[in-house]
Amino acid sequence: MTSQPHLVKPPRLAVWLLNLFALAEEAESILGDLLEEFSLLASKSGVAFAQRWYWRQTIKTVPWLAGIGFRTAPWLIGASVVGGLLLRKLVAPLVGLPASALLDRYQAFFEHHVSAYLFFASTGSDIEHLISFVLIGFLVAFVTRQREMIATMALGLVYGAMAVVGFIYAVTKTGNDALLWRLTWIFADAFAIVIAGAIVRMHRLAATSRPSTA
Amino acid sequence: MRDRDYLGEFEHIIVLALLRLDDRAYGVTVRQEIELRTDREVSIGAVYATLDRLETKGYVTSHRGDPTPERGGRSKRFFRVTAKGVTAVSRTHRALQNMTEGLGSFGVTYDVATPSR
């Protein structure tokens, strides 16, 4: 039986990353081109060499794909960032409702368990934020078809940058360095937006995918 | 979009690669042609981002070929330079020639063989 170099598959994670960022039309050409060269390199120079080459191409290509996504629809990305920040005002109180109801319902319990109340009021509130940002990420990704990652990353970056500036201002004003550790929650919120974008993107890809993904 | 746009460095290289490759110009061949002739590693993303920009400006057109098994059933996207693209590359060449003229003493030359008429 003759060898069939094209059966050697490129790194799945790299293919996944490219799929995540590429517009449908770009993905068709770029993944096809990369697979063609990868198969050739694998048969000529070995699979390990071809895989390293594929990763190098992926790492260099993803920023370009993000750039294409932004350049071809800058207003959509801009509007989704503004919309996402405004949505936070709408979604955050809604997500907080069940927690407030729980506090009211078990008021007697919390009166006798102050540490539980403090945990619920602080970490619980941070978790509420996280959930609201996941929901915002889903909504933004839903309306930015094909550009889910660029839109959610842009929103995460803008939100993160605004929060960092705000916290630095607060720390310099109050001198309370302890505030800085809360930045970890801010980064988690920004990350949650992007994760939601990736989930929507993957779901859409799965709905339209062909039998072979490589 | 201005009518007297000059091509950027990488746009210039891409258009020249397309002209060299003629009807064989698609992502793989364009990327390999540039690597071969400029001795620099080029990402497929950079090639497509530039080709998309050139297509938006009307300097190149593209069409899809048939899907092939060695590409996982994906089709090739072939590119071709338009008349407007040829004009833009000539304009850029002329500008570079004019700017380089008389700089031989600095070791800067821009020798392009021009067809005799």
Q: Would the pLDDT of A192 be above 70? A: yes
* Average pLDDT along chain A: 86
pLDDT at A124: 75
Alpha-helical segments (H) within chain A: 12-21, 24-45, 47-71, 74-105, 107-112, 114-143, 148-174, 183-208
Shortest CB distance from A57 goes to which of B26, B43, B68?
B43
pLDDT band at A2 (very low <50, low <70, confident <90, very high): very low
Residue from A201, A26, A147 nearest B46 by CA: A26
A62 contact residues in B (CB cutoff 8 A): 45
Q: Would the pLDDT of A35 be above 90? A: yes
Average pLDDT over residues B1-19: 86
Shortest Cα distance from A146 to chain B (angstroms)?
A: 16
Shared-domain flag, residues A141 and A180: yes
| B96 exposure class (CB count in 10 Å sphere: 0-12, 13-18, 19+) | middle
pLDDT band at A1 (very low <50, low <70, confident <90, very high): very low
Q: Are A91 and A135 in contact (CB under 8 A)?
A: yes
Test B71 with A33 for CB contact under 8 angstroms. yes
Q: Would the pLDDT of A190 be above 70? A: yes
Report the number of distinct structural domains present in chain A: 2
Among residues A44, A71, A98, the one where a domain terminates is: A71
* Average pLDDT along chain B: 89
Angle subtended at Cα A127 by Cα A125 and Cα A129, rounded to the nearest 5 degrees: 75
Chain A nearest-CA residue for B68: A32
Q: Are A214 and A15 in contact (CB under 8 A)?
A: yes
Q: Are A141 and A197 in contact (CB under 8 A)?
A: yes
Is the CB of B115 inside 8 Å of chain A's CB atoms? no
The secondary structure of chain B in percent helix, strand, coil, rounded to multiples of 5, reads 55, 15, 30
Q: Would the pLDDT of A214 be above 70? A: no
pLDDT at A5: 47
Residue from B46, B32, B36 nearest A60 by CA: B46
Q: Is the dihedral of CA B30, B35, B40, B41 positive or negative?
A: positive
Shared-domain flag, residues A87 and A121: yes
Chain position carrying tokens 């020249």: B16
For B50, residues 6+ apart whose C-beta sits below 8 A from its C-beta are B10, B11, B14
Shared-domain flag, residues A136 and A196: yes
In terms of residue numbers, what domain contains A202? 74-206
Chain position carrying tokens 């060499």: A49
Residue B48 backbone phi and psi in degrees, to 5: -70, -35
Shortest CB distance from B75 goes to which of A28, A65, A212?
A28
B28 contact residues in A (CB cutoff 8 A): 33, 36-37
Residue of higher predicted confidence among A7 and A203? A203
Shared-domain flag, residues A132 and A193: yes
Q: Would the pLDDT of A212 be above 60? A: no
Shared-domain flag, residues A52 and A79: no
Shared-domain flag, residues A57 and A152: no
Test B46 with A60 for CB contact under 8 angstroms. yes
Q: What is the DSSP string of A66-94?
A: HHHHHHT-HHHHHHHHHHHHHHHHHHHHH
Of A59-68, A107-116, A138-147, where does mean pLDDT reach its minimum? A107-116
Q: Would the pLDDT of B72 be above 90? A: no
Q: Would the pLDDT of A171 be above 60? A: yes
Q: Is the dihedral of CA B51, B53, B56, B57 positive or negative?
A: negative
Test B45 with A210 for CB contact under 8 angstroms. no
Shortest Cα distance from B34 to chain A (angstroms)?
A: 15
Q: Which of A8, A9, A34, A210 to mutate to test the interface with B (most CBs of B within 10 A)?
A: A34
Among residues A51, A71, A91, the one where a domain terminates is: A71
Chain A nearest-CA residue for B62: A29
Shared-domain flag, residues A80 and A138: yes
Is the CB of B27 inside 8 Å of chain A's CB atoms? yes
Chain B nearest-CA residue for A68: B49
Architecture in CATH of B9-103: Orthogonal Bundle (1.10)
Shared-domain flag, residues A113 and A164: yes
Among residues A24, A41, A71, the one where a domain terminates is: A71
pLDDT band at B101 (very low <50, low <70, confident <90, very high): confident
Pairing of the two strands B74-81 and B60-68: antiparallel
A7 contact residues in B (CB cutoff 8 A): none
Q: How many CB atoms lie within 10 A of CB A195?
A: 17
Is the CB of A37 inside 8 Å of chain B's CB atoms? yes
Shared-domain flag, residues A32 and A89: no
Shared-domain flag, residues A48 and A84: no
Round to whole Å and give the CA distance between B67 and B75: 4
Shortest Cα distance from B49 to chain A (angstroms)?
A: 6
**Residue A60, SS3 per DSSP:** helix
Taking CA atoms, B80 is separated from B8, B24, B28, in Å, by 18, 9, 14
B48 contact residues in A (CB cutoff 8 A): 26, 29-30, 64, 68
Share of chain A above pLDDT 90, in %: 54
Is the CB of A65 inside 8 Å of chain B's CB atoms? yes
Residue A181 corresponds to which tokens in the numbers above?
């550790």
Round to whole Å and give the CA distance between A188 and A123: 13
Shortest Cα distance from B4 to chain A (angstroms)?
A: 22
Residue A146 backbone phi and psi in degrees, to 5: 75, -20
pLDDT at B116: 45
Shared-domain flag, residues A63 and A95: no
pLDDT at A198: 96
